[in-house]
Structure 1
Amino acid sequence: MNDLMQQLERSEGYLASDPDNNELLARVIDLSLAAGDGERAVRHAQAALARYPDDAFFLARLGSAHLLRREWAEAVAVLAPLLARHPDLNLAYNLAYAFLWLGRHADAYAAMTPYLDAAELSPPMVTLLVRALHHMGEGERAIALADAHMAHCEQDAAFLAAASLVCFDAGRLEQAEQLSAAALALGAAAQHGRPQAQLEALVTAGSLALARVDGDAAVARFQQVLALNPDEGRSWSGLGTASLLKRDLPNAQQQLEQAVRYMPTHIGSWHLLGWSRLLAGQLDSARAAFQTALELDRNFGDSHGGLAVVQAMQGQRELAEAGVERALGLDKESLSARYAQMVLAGETADPQRFSKLAMRLLSSRQGAFGQNLGEIVKQHGAR
């Protein structure tokens, strides 16, 4: 790094004497990027474009500088028109990368679509495509793509990690476990491994541990994820699930509140947050959680059922009965609706019995990301 900075400063000195030299301009931008100094790279790229407007190479470098600074919208503004004029695999990947961070997953996939059969498709490019398809709800297509490129990507930890999470969400638990373990082993073996590349593998490992009723291992994995990325909502939801099933309601609420902060549209986490508040006797805030789930999608029976439980406990009998009817109309097996009926019938007046019945309800449902909660609750004595 010292040598790199010395080269950069020397080149900037030369450029000061010859500011129109396009080779020197390119060199200082590239050295700035290599040094990880995005602000410097943007400044030099803008200076180059002031002298050579619409130069494709300087525009591409400006886009890279914005990516380095995590200025995703600015990168898109530069790279999208550039790619339209100059179709190129690497430009498409950079644009798709920015789209992915903006949550524009379909746009990310579309940017790479013309290059799906390119022989030079690298592991990071395949990984991006797998992630985009996963977020688009195209899990089977993502798995098929990962399988097709496994031979030349199987030594890439980030690729294996992304593939493991897709397999987990698709219910392919054995394959998910194998891929997660391989990704974590590669990261552990690398002298200068990038822990961030293993993030999805850690999420998968934590979710699998939770499904195996190994709460300590699950918590350890989710905490590893959050040490790398405190904004990772799935891990907050996983921690909240573990705490809820241990009846650690204060921690469950705090963790699930973080989960919905980072995943505000994830209905399963809102349900869990609602139940954690309901079990703590916080009826108004439980009502707010179930109401938010309803506003996200009114076609989930358990959202109506959870709200009906709160209404029943608050003495709003007519509202609760209407909510039960709606819940059962959407899902004849809605256990939250059945539970609301029990509240209305006075079968849950005893607080201890209420807690046990509520935990039994949770035990029959799937966790926020597909974990089977039944065995977990059983292990914690919620019978």
Structure 2
Amino acid sequence: MTELTQRLRQLHAYLEADPANIHLLFELADLYLQFGQAQACEEVLSRLLAEDPGHFGGRSLAGICLMRQNHLDDAIAAFDDLRREGWEEPALFYNLAYALLLQGRYAEAEIYAAKAASQRDILPQAGPLFARALHFQGKVNEAVAACEQALSEHPEWLPMYGLLATLYLDQENFAAAEIVARQVLDVVPKDPDAATVMGMLSISKQDLDVAIPMLDQACTSRPNSSRALMGQGLVSMLQGDLKKAELRVSEALQYMPGHVGSWHVLAWCRILQQQPSAAKEALLEALRLDRNFADTHGGLAIVAIMEGKMGEAQKSVKRALGLNPSSFPGLYAESLIFQAGGHPIQAQAIYGKLMESSVLPDGTSLQQAVARTVALSPFGKDTPAG
């Protein structure tokens, strides 16, 4: 019998003698929640709140119980009721921020996470939550600063180091990301954030012997990790298994539907499988999210070329290269247009630009180019890390 199970039995025995004891009821409800028994927790809380309707701990626990069952609207309403009554407990702000974060309301989550993080001496875990709220809005530099500040005050808070490695990766500070990720894995070998960072960095180096176990480990520790799933998709792309790559990228998009770059990868999986219509669907999703992203227009140009719509392709290339003269899809589409128009010299010049760029080093394939670009690109906005 575990210590928790033994305590559960004791509490039931004590409550038989004193069924209205608020402290015992609260501990029992909390224990049921630790066991993952939400319904039993709710039943005990109903008894507690019948005895003391204003009990802060019981009402907070009821909100957490709702959140655990993914009843986020109800949980947020419960926490908001407490806040409006004047409660200013750090844990209340933390739980409200967490629920808002799960609902994708990142700007609101930032406000309450900041309030909780201002009392990190009471609630150290508020630091990572605040940094994540910033990260999910694409405020990478601010998130790095928040994370570094929190770690300067609480260097013992190990979960934050994996987040810091992720933030360094999105800040394109690759050397720092690798150093921190390696340090984390030395202490916590299964840390999903650090493993994902090492996996993405290894993809960029085409070192699949490291990337595969790292990303598999990350997905085992955190099955809903959008970034790790994306990494597995990129690995499959590099291995030439485009069907599997498309599947993994589609899974990743379930958790980060607002991430433009992931729609681009899905489109490339389909382009490489000669599926222009399906690729266009993915690119139109990306366009809906951001009409001024050069690579989306470049991808649409490639699709138009595959469909024989050269006039449409030329317009998309013009938009792509107008937004970003170094856009890999834009330049690639332009080279295809020259090639299709019987201009091999101009096409070769464009290919030369691609080969000289940092995006597509000499000799790499399209799969390698896409994988490297995505692995090292900032995920940030609307990209929950799990």
Q: Same fold (TM over 0.5)?
A: yes
Q: Aligned pair 1:44/2:50, yes or no?
A: no
Q: Percent identity?
A: 30
Q: SS at the partner of 1:123?
A: coil
Structure 2 counterpart SS, 1:299:
coil
Q: Does 1:77 align with 2:70?
A: no
- Tell me how far apart the structure 2 counterparts of residues 259 and 27 of structure 1 sit (CA, whole Å): 38
Match of 1:125 in 2: 126
TM superposition shift of 1:205: 1.3
**1:313 equivalent in structure 2:** 306
**How big is the alpha-carbon RMSD for the aligned residues of Structure 1 and Structure 2?**
3.0
Distance in 1 of aligned mates of 2:277 and 2:159: 43
> In 2, distance between residues paired with 1:119 and 1:283?
51
- Deviation readout 1:244-302 (Å, 9 max, x if unpaired): 23433233222222232332222212222212211221222122222222222111122
- CA distance, structure 2, for counterparts of residue 6 and residue 230 of structure 1: 31
**1:153-164 paired onto structure 2 within 5 Å:** 153-164=154-165
Tell me if the contact between 1:169 and 1:369 (Cα under 8 Å) persists in the aligned partners: no
Q: Give the match for residue 253 of structure 2.
A: 260
1:305 alignment partner, SS class: helix
Contact 2:202 2:210 in 1 (8 A): yes
Q: Deviation of residue 103 (structure 1)?
A: 2.4
Q: Give, as a single letter, the amino acid of the residue that structure 1 aligns with 2:194.
A: A
Within 5 A, what are the aligned runs for 1:290-309? 290-309=283-302
1:93 aligns with 2:86: no
User: Where does residue 214 of structure 2 map in the other structure?
Assistant: 221
| Residue 363 of structure 1, CA deviation | 5.8
Mapping of 1:53-64 within 5 angstroms? 53-64=53-64
Structure 1: segments with no counterpart, 5+ residues: 189-194, 373-383
Please report how far the alpha carbon of residue 107 of structure 1 lies from its aligned counterpart in structure 2 after TM superposition: 2.2
Asked if 1:134 is matched to 2:135, the reply is yes
In the TM superposition, residue 348 of structure 1 has moved relative to its aligned partner by 9.6
Shift in alpha-carbon separation, 1:115–1:234, aligned structure 2, 3 A: closer
Q: Check the 8 A contact 2:120/2:126 in 1, yes or no.
A: no
Q: What secondary structure is seen at the aligned counterpart in 1 of 2:231?
A: helix
Farther-moved stretch of structure 1 (83-92 vs 164-173): 83-92
Gap change, CA 1:234 and 1:34, over 3 Å in 2 = closer
Question: Given that residues 249 and 265 in structure 2 are in contact (C-alpha distance below 8 angstroms), is that contact kept between their aligned partners in structure 1?
Answer: yes
Q: Report 1:1-383 matches (<5 A).
A: 2-16=2-16, 18-84=18-84, 85-118=86-119, 120-188=121-189, 195=190, 198-347=191-340, 367-370=373-376
Structure 2 unaligned segments of length 5 or more: list them.
Answer: 343-347, 349-353, 379-386
Q: TM-score, normalised by structure 2?
A: 0.82
SS of residue matched to 2:108: helix
Question: How far apart are residue 164 of structure 1 and its match?
Answer: 1.0
In the alignment, the residues of structure 2 paired with residue 167 and residue 346 of structure 1 have an alpha-carbon distance, to the nearest angstrom, of 40
Q: What secondary structure, in the 3-state scheme, does the structure 1 residue paired with 2:93 have? A: helix
Tell me which moved more, 103-112 or 9-18: 9-18
**Contact kept? 2:64, 2:95, Cα under 8 Å:** yes
Count of aligned pairs: 359
Greater mean deviation of Cα atoms: 252-261 or 360-369: 360-369
> Could you tell me how far apart the structure 2 residues matched to 1:55 and 1:343 are?
69
Aligned equivalents of 2:185 and 2:74: distance in 1? 34
In 2, Cα distance between equivalents of 1:285 and 1:338: 22
Alpha-carbon distance in structure 2 between the residues aligned to 1:245 and 1:31: 47
Residue aligned with 2:223, SS = coil
Larger relative contact order (CA 8 Å, sep ≥ 6): 2
**Aligned AA (2:125):** P
Residue 125 of structure 1 aligns to which amino acid in structure 2?
Answer: A
User: Could you tell me which residue of structure 2 aligns to residue 377 of structure 1?
Assistant: none
Distance 2:295 2:18 in 1: 69
State the AA in 2 paired with 1:339. Answer: Y
Could you tell me whether the CA contact under 8 Å between 2:201 and 2:375 is conserved in 1?
A: no
Conservation of the 8 A alpha-carbon contact between 2:113 and 2:129 = no
Contact between 1:123 and 1:159, CA under 8 Å: does it hold in 2? no
Shift of 1:87: 0.7
Q: Which amino acid aligns with 1:29?
A: A
Do the aligned partners of residues 29 and 225 (structure 1) sit closer, same or farther apart at CA in structure 2, a change above 3 Å counting? same
Secondary structure at the aligned position of 1:15 is classed as helix
* Contact persistence 2:117–2:124 (CA under 8 A): no
For 2:9 and 2:369, the matched residues in 1 are separated by 64
The offset of 1:306, in angstroms, is 1.2
